[in-house]
Amino acid sequence: MEQINRLKVVLAEKQKTGKWLAESLEKNGATVSRWCTNESQPSLETLVTIAKTLDVDVKELLNSTKKKV
C-alpha cells in the first residue's frame, strides 16, 4: 500500500514549506521534517493547530483508513 503523507501534500498545495510551518507553530524544524517524512506524528492537539494554521479541515491532514471497494 502506497503511503502518502498528507501534511507534505497540503504544504505543497498551499505553497508553504516545512520551515514556514515550524516557525508558525514555534516548533523545531527537525520536528516538522519528521512529521513530513512519517518518522513521527504530531499529537492530536498539534494536528488541529496545524490545520488551523494551514486553513484546512483537520480531515485533509489524515489518510483514509477505509478500504476502497
Arithmetic mean of pLDDT, 5-18? 94
pLDDT at 66: 61
69 found inside a domain: no
Contact 22, 54 (CB under 8 A): no
> Is residue 66 a part of any domain in this protein?
no
Query: What phi and psi, each to the nearest 5 degrees, are found at residue 48?
Result: -65, -40
Give the CA distances from residue 41 to residues 2, 22, 49, 50, 68, in Å, rounded to whole numbers and listed in that order: 18, 14, 13, 12, 24
CA distance 30 to 57: 24
User: Distance (Å, rounded) from C-alpha 61 to C-alpha 13?
Assistant: 12
* Higher pLDDT, residue 22 or 63: 22
Q: Which residues span the domain enclosing 47? A: 6-55
Q: What is the CATH number of the domain that holds 36?
A: 1.10.260.40
Is the residue at 65 inside a domain? no
Residue 67 belongs to some domain of the structure: no
For residue 68, is it within any domain? no
**Tens-digit pLDDT profile for residues 17-35:** 999 999 999 999 999 999 9
Mean pLDDT, range 34-63, rounded to an integer: 93
pTM above 0.75, yes or no: yes
Is residue 60 a part of any domain in this protein? Answer: no
Asked whether residue 44 is assigned to any structural domain, the reply reads yes
Name the domain count of the chain: 1
